[in-house]
Structure 1
Amino acid sequence: MKRKYSIITGFMGTVKDRFIDYQPARSMEEMVKMASKVKGCSGLEVVYPQNFTNAAELKKMLDAYGLGVSTVNLNVKGDEIWRYGSFSHPEASVRRKAVDAMKEAMDRAAQLECPIVTCALLNDGVDYPFEINYMDAFSHAIEGIREAAEYRKDVKISLEYKQSEPRVHCLLNNAGKMAYFAQMTEQENVGVTLDFGHALQALEVPADSASFLGQTGKLFYVHVNDNFRNWDWDMVPGTVNLWDYIEFALALKQVGYEGWITADVFPQRHDPIRIMEKTFEWMDYIFDVAEKIDEDKLRQMQKELDTFEIMDYIRSLL
């Protein structure tokens, strides 16, 4: 499998949490220039509209640095208007702005010769019981995404799920619910962004999630990072859950995923260029191990139900 690695633009710019500002604000060109120095990086996931609005200017800049676009990330969570949600917001006027924003992002993606828009509806959800009517919220979100998907059949909409943050309970919070949501839109160009760390946080087995989404035909895009299953820490992949990552890489191979692998890694106390290079180094290692696995031999051992023979075999490939 040819590996196409990209970086989310935001992680090359301002990085902060509730306590510390870790990285300074940088212009789009500064972020693009930094990304071009990352060994193994072929492109960027560009955030709209926070990082760019003029697609022609951005395309010219990316071409100058030899970078492609993995996806356009529509951010409907960072501005005040989205405080109480976007596509499921109780106010019809806000939902309309969300749909229009998605259509604009799809237009920008087409201008950038990128066939996919990813979006995380993380403000769509609740903090306390009884805050929303869940049936209405789910229906509103389906209607809005369906309208946007019908607008341009040549651009895919890939929705990213997460258990929590910034809402205590996100409306679209696991692989199964997200796949069902995509199917409910009745649009072939609506699918799912699988973030490895979000799958861990939701107490999923990432390989299971990748296999399930791949079988449903809804695995559109992949984010890689790692954590301890207690929070979305966005660490370098494989540094915590190496076994899970090898199984995940094998699952991607089995479902035929050939899309971008994008680093969603938080470089708070590390140089952004170095931490992204380490991300791609670790992913190369993980994919290389997965490639060594004799799948016929593995299937036979799985039939024989000898767990430790399987684990010893995988360990022998490390």
Structure 2
Amino acid sequence: MQRKYSIITGFMGKVQDRFIDYQPVRPMEEMVEMASRVKGCSGLEVVYPQNFTNAKKLKELLDAYHLGVSTVNLNVKGDVMWRYGSFSNPDPEIRKEAVNAMKRAMDCAGELNCGVVTCALLNDGVDYPFETDYLDAFQYTLDGIREAAEYRRDIKISLEYKQSEPRIHCLLNNAGKMAYFTQMTGKDNVGVTLDFGHALQALEVPADSASFLGQTNRLFYIHINDNFRNWDWDMVPGTVNFWDYIEFALALKKVNYNGWITADVFPQRHDPVKIMEKTFEWMDYIFDIADRIDEKKLKEMQTELKTFEILDYIRSLI
């Protein structure tokens, strides 16, 4: 499979948690320059409107550093107006603005020649029982995404799911619901961003999620990171769930995923350039192992239920 690695621009700048600011604020040009020094990085996931509003100027900047754009990330969670949701917000004016923001992001994606807008509707959900009408929330979101998808059929909308954060219960929170939701839109240009760490947090098997979404032709985009399944820690991929990552890489190969693979890794206590390089080094190692797997041999052992023979075989490739 083709490997195209990118970085979320914001992770080259200020990152913070509830307690500490870990990296300084950096202007866009400095973040782009830093990304250009990351070995293996071919592009950036750029966040709209926080990173940029003028796509033409951004493209000139990226071209100067020979970087492409993996996707435009529409941020409808970081501003106070989205605190009660975006596409599912009870206020029709805010829902309208969410749709318009998606349309603007789609236009930017067209100007940047990337063809994909990714969006995580993480403020769409609830914290307490009876806080929302789930039927309304689902329908509002469906209507809004459908309207945006009709606006430009040449641009894909890739929705990222997550179990929780900042909402305790996010509305779109697992691979199965996402596949159903995207098919409910009736639009071929609506699909799913699969974040490895979010799949872990939802207690999914990432290879299963990738296979399922790939089989439904709704797997549009990939975020890589790792965690201990207790929180979305955004660690370097493979450092915790190494076996899962090999299986995940094989699954991507089997569903012929050829899109971008983007580092969603939090460099709080490490140099951002070095940690992104380590991310791509680990992914290359993982993909190389997956490429050496004899799929015919593996299939035969699976058919014969030779579990530990399978594990011993994979272990021999490491």
Which band: TM-score by shorter chain?
over 0.9
| Residue 308 (1) aligns with residue 302 (2) | no
Amino acid at match of 1:285: Y
Amino acid at match of 1:106: M
What is residue 228 of structure 1 aligned with on the other side? 228
| Aligned counterparts of 1:297 and 1:256: Cα–Cα separation in 2 | 20
| Equivalent position SS for 2:199 | helix
| Residue 173 (1) aligns with residue 173 (2) | yes
What is residue 108 of structure 1 aligned with on the other side? 108
| Residue 25 (1) aligns with residue 21 (2) | no
| Aligned counterparts of 2:306 and 2:39: Cα–Cα separation in 1 | 40
The alpha carbon displacement at 1:64 in A equals 0.2
What is residue 218 of structure 1 aligned with on the other side? 218
Question: How many residue pairs get matched?
Answer: 318
What is residue 37 of structure 1 aligned with on the other side? 37
The alpha carbon displacement at 1:158 in A equals 0.1
TM-score by length of 2: 1.00
Query: For the aligned residues, what is the CA RMSD?
Result: 0.3
Amino acid at match of 1:292: R
What is residue 195 of structure 1 aligned with on the other side? 195
| Aligned counterparts of 1:123 and 1:26: Cα–Cα separation in 2 | 26
Amino acid at match of 1:70: S
Paired residues for 1:232-271 under 5 Å: 232-271=232-271
What is residue 317 of structure 1 aligned with on the other side? 317
What is residue 156 of structure 1 aligned with on the other side? 156
Paired residues for 1:290-301 under 5 Å: 290-301=290-301
Q: Deviations over 1:113-171 (max 9, x none)?
A: 11100000000000000000000000000000000000000000000000000000000
Q: Flag as ranges the 4+ runs of structure 1 deviating above 6 A.
A: none
Amino acid at match of 1:234: D
| Aligned counterparts of 2:128 and 2:11: Cα–Cα separation in 1 | 31
Q: Deviations over 1:91-133 (max 9, x none)?
A: 1000000000000000000000111000000000000000000
What is residue 72 of structure 2 aligned with on the other side? 72
| Aligned counterparts of 1:222 and 1:57: Cα–Cα separation in 2 | 26
Amino acid at match of 1:237: P
The alpha carbon displacement at 1:21 in A equals 0.2
What is residue 288 of structure 1 aligned with on the other side? 288
Amino acid at match of 1:81: M
| Aligned counterparts of 1:150 and 1:187: Cα–Cα separation in 2 | 8
| Aligned counterparts of 1:81 and 1:13: Cα–Cα separation in 2 | 24
| Aligned counterparts of 2:53 and 2:94: Cα–Cα separation in 1 | 20
The alpha carbon displacement at 1:2 in A equals 2.2
Paired residues for 1:120-139 under 5 Å: 120-139=120-139
| Aligned counterparts of 2:185 and 2:3: Cα–Cα separation in 1 | 30
- Structure 1, unmatched stretches of 5+, are none
What is residue 272 of structure 2 aligned with on the other side? 272
Q: Deviations over 1:222-249 (max 9, x none)?
A: 0000000000000000000000000000
TM-score by length of 1: 1.00
| Equivalent position SS for 1:135 | helix
Q: Deviations over 1:178-214 (max 9, x none)?
A: 0100001100000000000000000000000000000
| Equivalent position SS for 1:203 | coil
Amino acid at match of 2:270: H
What is residue 145 of structure 1 aligned with on the other side? 145
